Amino acid sequence: MSISKNKVVSLTYELREDNISGDLIEVVKADQPFVFLFGAGGLLPEFESNLAGKMIGSSFDFQIMAANAYGEFDESAMEYVPKDIFMIDGKLAEDLLETDKVINLRDQDGHLVRARVAEVGEAEVLLDFNHPLAGVNLHFSGQILDIRDATAEELDHGHVHGPGGHHH
């Protein structure tokens, strides 16, 4: 069986910046593999296209350029906000105002957004709304552990159920 649309794939990988010898970003090992429904649209398209047709036991090694991954770093996604928006019950939430800390905020429509604290000034805070991997070329290497047909329920829900997947 090979990887194709509507197959549940289990794999291991190392994710590095730029190439095989780049800085390590993430490791997924066989005892807790990455399990996903191929073709469901939840992953980077180029990630899936590099895995299409592979079989159980196949190794993979490929790069995805930043523009095809999480995009280039966008300076316009950096925004100064007044420091006083971090006031909670009349007290400044100092624990949120640490450089490089990722914080959860709500936009004007009430949607959850994540931002990295880039700089803390006297009266303003510079927030970075770019994806943490924006501007980073990604290099994946790993191995396909298992491939199976998705169940009707998994296809209906658009994600994997059971071990390594979503639990209802």
The owner of tokens 């770093």 is 73
Q: How confident is the model at residue 166 (pLDDT cuts 50, 70, 90)?
A: low
> Do 39 and 121 belong together in one domain?
no
Domain shared by 108 and 84, yes or no: yes
Domain CATH for 53: 3.10.50.40
Q: Containing H/E element for 48?
A: helix 45-51
Tens digits of residue pLDDT in 46-99: 999 999 999 999 999 999 999 999 999 999 999 999 999 999 899 999 999 999
Tokens representing residue 115 in the block = 């931002």
In this prediction, residue 139 carries a pLDDT of 98
pLDDT band at 168 (very low <50, low <70, confident <90, very high): low
- Which amino acid makes up residue 39? G
pLDDT, tens digit (0-9, with 9 covering 90-100), for 88-139: 899 999 999 999 999 999 888 999 999 999 999 999 999 999 999 999 999 9
Distance of CA 99 to the CA centre of its chain: 21
Tell me how many domains the chain contains.
2
In terms of Cα–Cα distance, which of 16, 13, 14 is closest to 136? 16
Separation of alpha carbons 104 and 56, rounded Å: 39
Cα 37 → chain centroid = 16
pTM of the model: 0.83
CA distance 64 to 160: 24
Gap between the Cα atoms of 112 and 30, Å rounded: 32
CATH code of the domain in which 80 resides:
2.40.10.330
